[in-house]
């Protein structure tokens, strides 16, 4: 494939092309470059959205289990008050409540950890910076 440094859009050497042909080739190349940058940004943002979805799901699970723990704690308190100090019934409820609270805490920590790993589309940013540097100095950047 010929480089646009020596050959233009129709395959003729750059020295033999008119200004209009050169502008058309440059416009086509810039349009292709912009489309490729947009595709790269979409791919990176899609990956970040997937990670955000997993983190949100884990946090949602933690919220559900936290609510479930509150319901169990309410039952335990109700049975504890009604039975006085009969530990057999409400002690079991409190043990289950503690288990669900512990599980909710683990899910919350996992969800927060996933959310903290999210960042900007770094490859796209590097690529755009390189393209802008080339546009400013096309003969220097290889």
Position 61 scores a pLDDT of 92
Report d(CA 110, CA 60) in Å as an integer: 11
Q: Is residue 116 in a domain?
A: yes
Measured CA to CA, the distance from residue 7 to residue 19 in angstroms comes to 13
Q: What is the mean pLDDT of residues 41-52?
A: 84
Q: Looking at the domain assignment, is residue 78 inside a domain?
A: yes
As a whole number, the mean pLDDT across the chain is 79
Average pLDDT over residues 56-70: 90
Rounded Cα–Cα distance for residues 108 and 65 (Å) = 10
pLDDT of residue 65: 92
Residue 111 within any structural domain of the chain:
yes
**Structural domain includes residue 49:** yes
DSSP H helical segments within 84-141, as ranges? 87-116, 122-136
The answer to whether residue 30 is domain-embedded is no
Name, in order, each residue with C-beta under 8 angstroms of 113's C-beta and a sequence gap of 6 or more. 55
74 is in which domain, residue-wise? 40-136
> Mean pLDDT, to the nearest integer, of 100-121?
88
Residue 44 lies in a domain: yes
R_g of the chain, CA atoms, integer Å: 31
Predicted local distance difference test score (pLDDT) of residue 1: 47
Whole-prediction pTM value? 0.41
pLDDT band per the 50, 70, 90 thresholds, residue 43: confident
- Residue 97 pLDDT more than 80? no
The reply to whether 68 falls in a domain is: yes
Q: How many domains does the chain have?
A: 1
Is 6 inside a domain boundary? no
Encode pLDDT of 124-142 as tens digits. Answer: 888 888 888 887 776 654 4
């Amino acid at each position: 494939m010929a480089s646009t440094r020596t050959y233009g859009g129709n395959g003729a050497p750059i020295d033999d092309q008119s200004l209009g042909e050169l502008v058309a080739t440059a416009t086509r190349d810039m349009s292709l470059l912009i489309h490729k940058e947009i595709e790269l940004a979409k791919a990176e943002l899609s990956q970040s959205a997937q990670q955000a979805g997993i983190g949100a799901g884990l946090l949602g699970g933690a919220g559900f289990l936290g609510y479930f723990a509150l319901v169990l704690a309410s039952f335990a308190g109700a049975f504890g008050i009604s039975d006085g100090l009969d530990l057999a019934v409400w002690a079991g409820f409190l043990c289950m409540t503690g288990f669900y609270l512990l599980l909710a805490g683990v899910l919350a920590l996992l969800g927060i950890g996933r959310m903290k790993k999210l960042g900007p589309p770094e490859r796209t940013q590097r690529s755009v910076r390189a393209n802008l540097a080339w546009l400013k100095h096309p003969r220097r950047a290889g």
